[in-house]
Structure 1
Amino acid sequence: MKLKHECVRDILLTIEDVKEYNIFLPIQKLLGQDQLNNYSNDDVFYTLFKLEEAGFIKLQAASFQEGDLPLGIIDMTYKGHEFLDNIRQSGVWSETKSLASKVGGASLTILSDVAAGVIKAKLGLN
């Protein structure tokens, strides 16, 4: 499967919008959010697992209740917030994707670095 960067951004933005502090966010509730309607459940699950591997979110299995998905988000990490802050603004995100496309793609780490560079340039810090 391919890791879709738009899905990464939309999931992180959605988690930030709907996740309450110290409250378990079931994946089922996340799947019902409008921002994620453009993605298949497989895309969302795959992205969530990769975000956990990258250290951006923490997932946890919940006690299974009939009809519920037994998995949820317990937290977005500092690393996840840092990445999201770098790509949050649509203009920065568009410019970041444009720059990354020149090399045919980039990892999340590189995207974050490119976005930070875009932000620094806008602030005149380069």
Structure 2
Amino acid sequence: MKLNIDCVRDVMLWVEAITTPSQLASYVNTDAVDSDDGFLYINADDRPMPNAAQKKLLEKYSNETLVYHLHYCIEAKLLTEFDSPDGNIIVIKDLTPLGHDFIGNIREAQNYSPAKAIAKKAGVETVNAFIDIGKEVAKIAIAKALMG
């Protein structure tokens, strides 16, 4: 699957908005839950359901895309995963320091849009390149704020 930097950003913002020292972010893999045919969940009321924040993400991206990008963010060391006893739920403890830096530089649209345009112009579509671009865009934003 092709990496979608918009999806990476949205996943990171979703996790950041939910997690606290005592609150984890849980993503229900709806494809897996729907296809399990009651094997794990004897009672329909036991099936995990997406919360409102996940449903909002699902309006924008497919479940398959979100699962891929969540796992990508974990493997890229942007997110810390919590081992879930239910394989149909992806549980995130928090953003890593790298994840905080990544989203901190591109959270605001006035930084994200130029970073995305630079990445497109440069022909790069990796998170590492986007982290570097985000840092440079943030430096420019800081310099403008200091001058103005």
The TM-score with structure 1 as length reference comes to 0.84
Partner in structure 2 of residue 74 of structure 1? 93
Q: Could you say which structure has the larger radius of gyration?
A: 2
Q: Deviations over 1:36-61 (max 9, x none)?
A: 52111111111111111111101233
CA distance in 1, matches of 2:101, 2:121: 24
Q: Flag structure 1 segments of 5+ consecutive residues without an equivalent.
A: none
Q: Is the 8 A contact 1:10 1:36 kept in 2?
A: no
CA distance in 2, matches of 1:10, 1:70: 18
CA gap of 1:99–1:92, structure 2 versus 1, over 3 A, is same
Q: Deviations over 1:99-121 (max 9, x none)?
A: 11112223111111112111212
* Larger RCO (alpha carbons 8 Å, 6+ apart): 2
Partner in structure 2 of residue 21 of structure 1? 21
Instruction: Give structure 1 regions of 4+ aligned residues with deviation exceeding 3 angstroms.
Output: none
Task: Point out the more displaced range, 68-77 or 11-20.
Answer: 68-77
Identity of aligned residues (%): 28
TM-align CA RMSD: 2.1
Q: Count residues in correspondence.
A: 122
The TM-score with structure 2 as length reference comes to 0.73
